[in-house]
């Protein structure tokens, strides 16, 4: 146990050490300051601008920025859907896979587009190498680049700057951030033993003399951008529990650091934009403390194990659904990190987590800001900051202000839309599905755990995470797969683009306001007290909104286990 906590603490210290370095680099990139990659990236950017007809000096309004996001992403989704449906006639298909069902292709295209990568299929027997590389791998750059661009535009807007140009921010996110880091990550993963080949499956003879077919492929580069871009989509059905995706503790460490690298750094980048790193560190510390507490609660629960099993064999860690080569501590850290960052990958089975771990993983998806999705997660953190300022202003009878700009009726309306769309997209479809547990849900584990399975699936889709408790009949050719594919497709799309549109309109509204002079009565947002108010706002709002499903899901399951002893 102590060794596991030491490994976790060391990993978290590495994240804190990297944050200001990479956060400074991101600020240089998006403030258009000189970086060491400019000699290579700038000519590439110019060619792309010329081909796409982009005017890099043109600033967009919030509506124009949102329109550019929606049009470009919609066009890309249609292209990817066609590639998936035509894969049997396209190259790099050594196993001669046919086309997937239309609903699987639709769901997959939307899922990867919105940075969720929720997979209702087994990758190695559903999609060809070409589909994995040219379609899904392409979206693994598009999705995080879109999120990072929106997050930076939001920061610009609330700090009184122009929002910028979506296409410029999008391209710079790829050429100066995602692509260089993904190349480094792929090389490191190849060195750790992750395969990168276009050869078909290997055939081997087992010790018993049987023939075994071993799937392989161009995994290393896919795995690199999967983790770095908070995509989480697996090349194999086992995801990061598969030895070809995550062969050893070294690759596991790199994957955890990759997940945390950008979302942690963007908070520090915000501090550099406003010239107040103190506030950035306070927000960072708030997120970090909640993150550490969730890890500790999950780790203790997994280490104590299942009380029903322990009553028969003695106290032992919960090893069900774990990779023994990684251990319970690394599975715990990975599970909380992947749900906190909205990556959605897994090096163990979420369905096998103890109720404490299931509660913490689900809570991450419900509040979405510990650390949140790339770019948009940081923007959502500031949405809660807006709400905390608004509530504090009501308590003291002052007009709420954020960085000297008054928060008006239109602003708080947009904040309300952003915060309300998430529970609506989770609770309504989950209620309908649970009303028909056999014909729609396909629950494998009736009772409290089954409720968690259903709610978690929609929470994962709405949050753009992509992890799953599994145990649901959501893959082809099950009859319920059509229901799951279509309903989660809607949740995925709406959960991504409704908040993004509202965030950009809010940023545009704030950018055009005059700054009021600071007075002794001005509410400062860079104090420990206000940071505590923000933390309370996040936790209270998140927990109270979803209290019934948390009480009837993981909490009830924990009491059920205790009562059986």
Write out the DSSP string of 301-365: HHHH--HHHHHHH-S----TT--TTTHHHHHHHHHHHHHHTT----SS-GGGS-HHHHHHHHHHH
- At residue 521, the pLDDT reads 64
Tell me how many degrees the CA angle 257-132-331 measures, rounded to the nearest 5: 35
pLDDT in tens, 132-186: 999 999 999 999 999 999 999 999 999 889 999 999 999 999 999 999 999 999 9
Quote the CA–CA distance of 305 and 533 in Å, as a whole number. Answer: 35
Average pLDDT over residues 520-535: 83
Q: Which residues of 414-423 are buried (b: 16+ CB within 10 A; e: fewer)?
A: bbebbbebbb
- At residue 41, the pLDDT reads 95
Q: Is the pLDDT of residue 285 over 70?
A: yes
Identify the bridge partners of residue 202 per DSSP, sorted by sequence position: 214
pLDDT in tens, 372-389: 999 999 999 999 998 998
pLDDT in tens, 336-369: 999 999 999 999 888 889 999 999 999 999 999 9
- At residue 565, the pLDDT reads 61
Identify the bridge partners of residue 405 per DSSP, sorted by sequence position: 402
Q: Which residue has the higher pLDDT, 321 or 429?
A: 429
Average pLDDT over residues 516-530: 77
**302 near 332, Cβ under 8 Å?**
yes
pLDDT in tens, 452-502: 999 999 999 999 999 988 778 777 667 788 899 999 999 999 999 999 999
- At residue 424, the pLDDT reads 96
Quote the CA–CA distance of 4 and 326 in Å, as a whole number. Answer: 10
Indicate the burial class of 75 (C-beta count within 10 angstroms; 0-12, 13-18, 19 or more): exposed
Q: How close are the terminal C-alpha atoms of the chain, in Å? A: 24
- At residue 36, the pLDDT reads 93
The C-alpha torsion from 483 through 487 and 489 to 493, rounded to 10°, is 170
pLDDT in tens, 404-422: 788 888 999 999 999 999 9
Q: Is the pLDDT of residue 516 over 90?
A: no
Quote the CA–CA distance of 245 and 187 in Å, as a whole number. Answer: 13
Q: Is the pLDDT of residue 66 over 80?
A: yes
Q: Is the pLDDT of residue 131 over 90?
A: yes
Q: Which residue has the higher pLDDT, 154 or 541?
A: 154
Say which residue the tokens 């002052």 belong to: 398
- At residue 180, the pLDDT reads 96
Q: Which residue has the higher pLDDT, 316 or 198?
A: 198
Backbone region of residue 275 per phi and psi (left: phi > 0; alpha: psi in -120 to 50; beta: other values):
left
Say which residue the tokens 């795995």 belong to: 223
User: For residue 207, what are the CA distances in angstroms to 30, 204, 384?
Assistant: 56, 10, 58
Quote the CA–CA distance of 365 and 385 in Å, as a whole number. Answer: 18
Quote the CA–CA distance of 283 and 269 in Å, as a whole number. Answer: 12
């Amino acid at each position: 146990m102590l060794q596991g906590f030491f490994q976790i603490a060391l990993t978290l210290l590495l994240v804190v050490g990297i944050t200001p370095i990479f956060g400074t680099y991101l600020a240089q990139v998006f403030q258009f300051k000189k970086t060491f990659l400019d000699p290579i990236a700038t000519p590439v950017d110019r060619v792309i601008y010329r081909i796409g007809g982009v005017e890099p000096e043109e600033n967009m309004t919030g509506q124009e920025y949102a329109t550019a996001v929606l049009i470009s992403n919609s066009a890309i989704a249609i292209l990817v859907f066609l590639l998936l449906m035509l894969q049997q006639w396209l190259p790099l298909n050594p196993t001669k896979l046919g086309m997937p069902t239309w609903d699987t292709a639709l769901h997959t295209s939307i899922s990867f587009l919105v940075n969720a990568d929720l997979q209702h299929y087994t990758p190695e027997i559903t999609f060809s190498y070409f589909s994995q590389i040219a379609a899904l791998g392409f979206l693994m750059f598009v999705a995080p680049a879109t999120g990072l661009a929106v997050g930076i535009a939001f920061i610009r807007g609330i700090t009184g700057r122009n929002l910028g140009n979506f296409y410029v921010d999008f391209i710079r996110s790829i050429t100066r951030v995602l692509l260089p880091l993904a190349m480094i990550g792929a090389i490191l993963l190849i060195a750790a033993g992750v395969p990168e080949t276009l050869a078909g499956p290997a055939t081997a003879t087992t010790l018993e003399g049987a023939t075994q077919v071993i799937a392989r492929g161009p995994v290393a580069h896919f795995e690199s951008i999967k983790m770095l871009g908070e995509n989480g989509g697996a090349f194999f059905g086992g995801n990061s529990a598969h030895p070809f995706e995550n062969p050893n503790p070294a690759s596991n460490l790199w994957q955890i650091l990759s997940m945390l690298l950008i979302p942690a750094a963007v908070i520090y980048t915000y501090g550099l934009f406003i010239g107040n790193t103190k506030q950035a560190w306070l927000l960072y510390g708030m997120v970090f403390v909640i993150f550490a507490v969730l890890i500790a609660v999950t780790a203790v629960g997994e280490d104590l194990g299942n009380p029903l099993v322990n009553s028969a064999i003695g106290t032992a860690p919960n090893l069900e659904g774990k990779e023994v080569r990684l251990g319970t501590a690394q599975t715990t850290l990975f599970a909380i990190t992947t749900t906190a960052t909205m990556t959605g990958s897994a090096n163990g089975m979420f369905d096998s987590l103890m109720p404490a771990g299931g509660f913490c993983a689900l809570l991450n998806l419900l509040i979405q800001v510990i650390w949140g999705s790339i770019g948009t997660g940081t923007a959502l953190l500031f949405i809660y900051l807006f709400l905390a300022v608004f509530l504090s202003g009501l308590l003291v009878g002052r007009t709420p202000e954020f960085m000297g700009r008054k928060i008006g009726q239109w602003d708080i309306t947009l904040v309300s839309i952003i915060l309300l769309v998430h529970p609506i997209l989770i609770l309504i479809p989950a209620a309908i599905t649970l009303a028909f547990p056999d014909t729609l849900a396909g629950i494998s584990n009736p009772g409290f755990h089954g409720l968690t399975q259903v709610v978690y699936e929609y929470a994962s889709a709405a949050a753009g995470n992509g992890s799953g408790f599994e145990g649901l009949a959501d893959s082809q050719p099950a009859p319920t797969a059509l229901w799951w594919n279509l309903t989660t497709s809607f949740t995925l799309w709406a959960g991504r683009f409704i908040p993004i549109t509202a965030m950009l309109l809010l940023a545009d509204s704030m950018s055009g306001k005059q700054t009021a002079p600071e007075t002794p009565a001005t509410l400062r947002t860079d104090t420990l007290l206000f940071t505590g108010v923000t933390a309370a706002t996040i936790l209270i709002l998140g927990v109270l909104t979803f209290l019934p499903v948390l009480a009837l899901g993981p909490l009830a399951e924990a009491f059920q286990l205790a009562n059986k002893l």
